[in-house]
Amino acid sequence: MDVRIGIIHTVRELDIDLPEGTRHDEIVADVDKALAQPDGVLWLTDKRGRRVAVPSAKVAYIEIGGGNEERRVGFGTS
């Protein structure tokens, strides 16, 4: 599963590839819990075991994907 997090005042976004078997509803619950508090911190662990912390006050948006979709790079026709 892929999670993209936009950070305010930052051009780049965080792209975190979560381990296989991560449940969508668990991630949504963790995001809701962290963003409910102005001084909250969202902690995520990627599939390599690295932990990422994002202060909720700095989150612009969060996009949660399935991770199974094909990523396209460059120009394509279809």
- Give which of 71, 33, 70, 40 is closest to 56, Cα–Cα: 40
- Domain definitions of the chain by residue range: 2-65
| Backbone angles phi and psi of 21, in degrees to 5 | 90, -5
Give the model confidence (pLDDT) of 5-55 as tens digits.
Answer: 999 999 999 999 999 888 999 999 999 999 999 899 999 999 999 999 999
Inform me whether the pLDDT recorded for 74 exceeds 80: no
Residue 9, pLDDT score: 93
Report the DSSP beta bridge partners of residue 53.
43
